[in-house]
Amino acid sequence: MIKRIFRSATYHISEFFFDKLAIPQIKSERISKALFSKYLPTKPIIIDCGAHEGHDSEQLARHFPEGVVHAFEPVPELYARLEERKLKKKNIITHQLALADKAGTLQFYVSEGQSDGSSSLLPPKTHLTDHPLTVFKKKININAVTLDGWASEHKINRVDLLWLDMQGFEMQMLQASREILPTVRVIHTEVSVRDTYEGVVQYPDFRRFLETKGFSVVAEAVPDGWDMGNVLFVKK
């Protein structure tokens, strides 16, 4: 009982320092959202791409109550859960769409088993062996838009924060965002250090691409031995 209480107290203390003071956690792929406020306006326009069931969207909406979070999730079952979570925050707008490098109907590889959060526009590769309990038994057709096309349609001329969890498709989407990418201040993105999906751009090349666009790394959470992690980029 005492050990259980101690573990619980330790966990909650660690979460408090992480969430409120941005103190990094050991062996974690998470970057505290408390870091973002120093780089963003008080009313930011935020894109959460690969929103899953909306956990990060909800946290971002809480951190920036005067901003707006556009949450993109193409998988129908996950989108239904995202819609439920949206009701808790008035500043979340949901879109049952994928952001991609072209608009239209695209094939999507759906993950299940241990994780339903690994679905991608790219077919899995070493993800299958690194995470054998996560399987990809089905492919579905989803609706996709480009960030530039969507922004133009909705009369949005800037995006302050891109929160990207696209399972390897982040760079392809950004390369197609010639109008909006120059307006972005902060990018939080998942990165791969192995060929997790077919055609994935690994972190070193992805980092060089963003550096050519004026971004620099301010935080990395890519634990040793892991196949993926997250990196926070800020416009210089």
pLDDT in tens, 173-221: 999 999 999 999 999 999 999 999 999 999 999 999 999 999 999 999 9
- Which residues have a Cβ under 8 Å from the Cβ of 220 and sit 6 or more positions away? 229, 230, 231, 232
Whether 236 has a pLDDT exceeding 90, the answer reads: no
Least confident range of 87-101, 124-138, 170-184? 87-101
Domains in the chain: how many in total?
1
- The pTM of the full predicted model, rounded to 2 decimals, is 0.89
Residue 217, domain member (yes or no): yes
Establish if 148 belongs to a structural domain: yes
pLDDT at 22: 46
Give domain status of residue 15, yes or no: no
> Considering the domain boundaries, does residue 6 fall inside one?
no
Closest by CA to 15, choosing from 37, 35, 32, 38, is 32
Instruction: Give the phi and the psi of residue 180 in degrees, each rounded to 5.
Output: -85, -35
Burial category of 198 from C-beta neighbours within 10 Å (exposed 0-12, middle 13-18, buried 19 and up): middle
Domain that holds residue 197: 27-235
- pLDDT for residue 84: 86
14 part of a folded domain: no
CATH code of 215's domain: 3.40.50.150
